[in-house]
Amino acid sequence: MNAVAPNGSPALVDVTIIGGGPCGLFAAFYAGLRGMSVRIIDSLPELGGQLMALYPEKFVYDMPGFPQVYAKDLAKALIEQGTQFHPELALEQTATSLTKTDEGYVLGTAKGDEFPTKTVIISAGAGAFSPTKIGVAREDDLVGKGVYYGVKDKATFAGKKLLIVGGGDSAFDWCLNLCDVAESISLVHRRDVFKAHEDSIEKVKAMGTPMKLWYVIKELHGDDKLTGVTLENTQTKETEYVDCDAVVVNIGFKSSLGPIKEWGLEIEKNQIKVDSKYETNLEGVFAVGDVCTFGSKLKLIATGVGEAATAVCFAKTRLDPSAKLFPGHSSDLELSK
């Protein structure tokens, strides 16, 4: 249910959160806990952010309280928590403009709507993202027909001869998560150095997963579906054919802040600079999670939700100088749902 002003336009809220991923959802929960009116704006049709949109079937290992949890299950729990105080939801809305007003700001969207707010918390992840492609002929023709840039459903790879391309956490996580589904898995990486957690690397090696190091995919084979690839050794330039019927590409995402770059925020390497309050150079505008940067930044969900709670508390004291920055432990409070 959208909050509306007497004239029928969207109502002024205490805080508008841009982005409905983990950090945005926890910010919504914590703002509700602090008695603030909340709106969430997200360009996707559902809450959950990248957990739901990119890798719902992937295990997350570094969230406190969960030795391992599917991303989709973590997202569902965060959504339940983040919406328990009934924030206004503006989904499939892309925030395009930020205009200062006497009461705070007005956020304009690509659909032409205007949402007034007293403060803003930007938790837009890495911004708008698109997968980095291999860059070979016929790649686009075979998307969904053997070439994939993520895993929405593990069953897609049941009984498949699978190549996983990349040397980061996602590549190693999928080696571990799909080993009981695929017929076979091989890892292809252009180097012999990995950018994944050490424990994941050791587990994949212990499984005996074949690794084609110093190789890249040079050619895709197959008409209506993938039947194999040609690999090229980046050092010797020798090539070899590998029979496979599925390739999962994990070589990164290209991200962009999009219209947010035009809002007058201090930007450093596609991230928004914040201070110790997670406040930007614009008064009353905060940024948390992957979208922000500061000296000791760690890009983890676990640290991002802490940033979200901190930003909410500083937004609260900005709106009500008599409010305490630290409201007390939630275990001492009775949540009104």
- Residue 208 maps to which CATH number? 3.50.50.60
**Structural domain containing residue 113:** 13-129+253-332
Joined together, the tokens standing for residue 286 give 């905060």
Averaged pLDDT score across all residues of the chain: 92
Q: How many domains does the chain have?
A: 2
Domain stops at, among 228, 249, 270? 249
Q: What is the pLDDT of residues 33-80, one digit of tens each?
A: 999 999 999 988 889 988 887 778 788 888 999 999 998 999 999 999
* Residue of 268 and 55 predicted with greater confidence: 268
140 and 211 together in one domain: yes
178: left (phi over 0), alpha (psi -120 to 50) or beta: alpha
224 and 303 together in one domain: no
* Residue of 270 and 214 predicted with greater confidence: 214
Cα-trace Rg, the chain: 22
Q: Decide if 104 is inside a domain.
A: yes
User: Percent of the chain scored above 70 by pLDDT?
Assistant: 94
* Residue of 149 and 36 predicted with greater confidence: 36
**246-249 and 239-243 beta bridge pairing:** unpaired
Q: Decide if 313 is inside a domain.
A: yes
* Residue of 322 and 151 predicted with greater confidence: 322
Max mean pLDDT range (36-50, 76-90, 255-269): 76-90
Residues 44 and 51 sit within 8 Å (Cβ to Cβ) = no
CA dihedral 298, 302, 305, 306 (to 10 degrees): -70
150 and 243 together in one domain: yes
**161-165 and 147-148 beta bridge pairing:** unpaired
- Confidence class for position 102, pLDDT limits 50, 70, 90: very high
120 and 265 together in one domain: yes
> Which H or E run includes 305?
helix 301-319
Please determine, for residue 337, whether its predicted confidence score (pLDDT) is greater than 50. Answer: no
- Residue environment code for 251-273, b if the CB has 16+ CB neighbours within 10 A, otherwise e: bebebebebbeebebeeeeebbe
What pLDDT sits at residue 215? 97
**38-42 and 88-91 beta bridge pairing:** parallel
Question: What pTM value is reported for the model?
Answer: 0.72
3-class state of residue 59 by DSSP: strand
Nearest partner of 98 among 75, 76, 121, 82, judged by Cα: 121
Please determine, for residue 119, whether its predicted confidence score (pLDDT) is greater than 80. Answer: yes
Q: Decide if 4 is inside a domain.
A: no
Q: Decide if 337 is inside a domain.
A: no
Q: Decide if 164 is inside a domain.
A: yes
Average pLDDT over residues 218-233: 96
